[in-house]
Amino acid sequence: MPYLEFEGQQYETDEDGYLVDWQSWKEGMAEVMAKEDGLTLTSEHWEIIRFLREYFMKFQIAPMIKILVKEIGKAMGPEKGNTKYLYELFPAGPAKQACRYAGLPKPTGCV
């Protein structure tokens, strides 16, 4: 099984690098994952990551994009409340990439 190496410990992941146990997540892991993708996390990224985890705790699933967009609009101003801005932050897709950084499972297909 693939794993993530973090602070001398191994954490199990799936084939796409999502943590198997979302509760074993540590903040620093997001930095490690982002670094591998060549990204530096800013406070905007963190806003999203934290929101994802909060939402997940309440609903056991990551929010749909509409809700994410609305949230970011609330936190960072309406001019940033759009999908385009989210993609600027997470070029590989806000749902997929941000969920991975947040230690959440890979989103299932929308069917």
Would you count residue 74 as binding another protein (CB under 8 A)? Answer: no
- Cβ proximity to another protein, 67 vs 91, nearer residue: 67
CA triple 106-45-77, angle to 5 deg: 120
CA triple 48-26-65, angle to 5 deg: 25
- Is the CB of residue 4 less than 8 Å from the CB of residue 14? no
- Cβ proximity to another protein, 33 vs 69, nearer residue: 69
Among 37, 65, 74, 87, binds another protein (CB under 8 A): 65
- Is the CB of residue 91 less than 8 Å from the CB of residue 99? no
The whole-angstrom separation of Cα 9 and Cα 39 is: 23
- What are the Cα distances from residue 103, in Å, to 4, 76, 78, 107? 11, 23, 27, 12
Among 35, 70, 87, 88, binds another protein (CB under 8 A): 70
Among 3, 42, 67, 91, binds another protein (CB under 8 A): 67
> Shortest distance, CB of residue 43 to another protein, whole angstroms?
26
99 is catalytic: no
Would you count residue 79 as binding another protein (CB under 8 A)? Answer: no
Residues serving a catalytic function are 110
Q: Footprint of another protein on this chain (CB under 8 A)?
A: 1, 14-16, 59-61, 64-67, 70, 83, 96, 108-111
